[in-house]
Chain A
Amino acid sequence: MPDDIWQPKLDQYLDSELSAEEMRAMDAHLRECASCASAALGRLQLKRATRLAGQRYTPSGEFRRRIEQQLAAKSRVRRAWLWVPALVTIVVLLAAVVTLGRWNQRSPSEQVLAELADLHVADLASPTPVDVASSDRHTVKPWFQGKLPFTFDLPELQGTGYTLVGGRLAYLQHEPGAQLLFSVGAHHISVFIFRERPELERTFPVHDSTSRVLSFHVESWAAGGLRYFAFSDASPEAIEGLCRLLKQAGA
């Protein structure tokens, strides 16, 4: 079947809007057709980039408090005069929130991990996964100077089995940070470095063990006012080995 039959359906495929049968057929076609697979990858990258770019604005704390107070005040007035329908409303709202929470909302830490997973996957899928390509830490580290409000140290990797591929800027919760790409064997490990902030600590508390999420392993630690995340599909041991070297370099 020619590509112009399949390609118009790519958006629906990536939006999960095709029927199960069509999804299977598209899956099979993409495995065989390099042209459509390439187009699908491009559209997926655009979709991910839109998602990341679209999560741009957050309400201020002052505005949040103002709305909460106004809603609370309205609820009090309603309780005074119409307590029965108000009670029903609150119960239904709570049910809706609980339902929505289960159905759609990710926990803050899951959002952080999903964001990092997106960055890691999009990076590997990119034809230019790094903006500064060098295995020399003395080239990569200075590249970030003037681009980030902090500095960090990188370990000497000669003879360790790990290779520095390069780095690029990354954004997490609207804060800039460094994304460093390392290779070990056939795998790549992304190490993200951001400034430690109360918001980050609240949404993703430090836990010094490697955990598995979204088919990836992730390890996070804090040192010197910075928060580190190592993200990869490599084995936990491979990730821990690199993390150990990074911790020693930052010590």
Chain B
Amino acid sequence: MPLFDSLYNFAHWLTQNREEAEDLVQETYAKALQGFGSFQLGTNFRAWIFRILRNTFLTSRTGLAVTKTVPLEDEDDQGQTVPVSRETPESILLAQAGQQQVQAALERVPVMFREVLLLCDVEEMSYQEIADTLGVPIGTVMSRLYRARKALRAALEGKGQEAKHA
């Protein structure tokens, strides 16, 4: 099954629940088979099937709750003019944090930022693929990535509130 492990990992991170993740993956494959006609040959299959999963998640009860609570203002802020903080170097944070702490921090990052981190750093998608998956412009991908990494740093520092409003 194409991308089964990746889709499941992504679904579990989105839902934070095993049963919901399984339902989400199951529905994704069903929709993918049903709507394979809408897949345009020559375009990116991975972005296409991840987009189905994400859209299915967004219309689920958990997904709807998430989109109602996550602020997504300042989409145009691509982090180009924000000064880089040198007060909390990642090396110090990561030296103090094990993998479980990083996972816990990732859990605290709002799902709209978590998903872009997962697609970029775990799935190693290009910005264009992420833009195709999320259905947003590349500039928005860059903006969300910037804010996602800022939120992850804040979560690693234990600043839960900052992570939520990065």
- A residues lining the B interface (CB < 8 Å): 3-4, 7-8, 10-12, 15-17, 38-39, 41-43, 45-47, 49-59, 63-64, 66-68, 70-71, 74, 89, 92-93, 96-97, 99-100, 104, 122, 125-128, 169, 171
CB < 8 Å neighbour of A54 from B3, B13, B29: B13
Quick check: B21 and A17 within 8 Å, CB to CB?
A: no
Q: Does B146 contact A (CB under 8 A)?
A: yes
Quick check: B25 and A59 within 8 Å, CB to CB?
A: yes
Report chain A residues within 8 Å CB of B2. 93, 96-97, 100
Quick check: B95 and A11 within 8 Å, CB to CB?
A: no
B25, B93, B102, B106 — most chain A CB neighbours (10 Å) = B102
What mask results when residues 50 to 83 of chain B are scored 1 for a CB within 8 Å of chain A, else 0? 0000000000000000000000000000011111
Report chain B residues within 8 Å CB of A4. 83-84
Q: Which 3 A-B pairs have the closest CB atoms?
A: A54-B122, A57-B12, A42-B90
Once A and B bind, how many residue pairs between them come within 8 Å at the CB atom? Answer: 137
Q: Does B118 contact A (CB under 8 A)?
A: yes
Quick check: A126 and B95 within 8 Å, CB to CB?
A: yes
A11-B146, A59-B25 known; A51+B121 contact, CB < 8 A: yes
The SS class assigned to the B binding surface is helix
Quick check: A46 and B21 within 8 Å, CB to CB?
A: no
In the bound complex, what is the Cα–Cα distance between A55 and B82 (angstroms)? 30
A10-B84, A54-B118, A57-B8 given; 15 more Cβ-contact pairs under 8 Å? A4-B84, A8-B80, A15-B145, A39-B86, A46-B94, A46-B153, A49-B97, A50-B117, A50-B152, A57-B12, A63-B25, A64-B4, A70-B30, A92-B41, A93-B2
In the bound complex, what is the Cα–Cα distance between A70 and B102 (angstroms)? 36
CB-nearest residue of chain A to B22:
A63
CB-nearest residue of chain B to A119:
B99
CB < 8 Å neighbour of A42 from B30, B45, B91, B117: B91
User: Smallest CB–CB gap between A98 and chain B, Å?
Assistant: 10
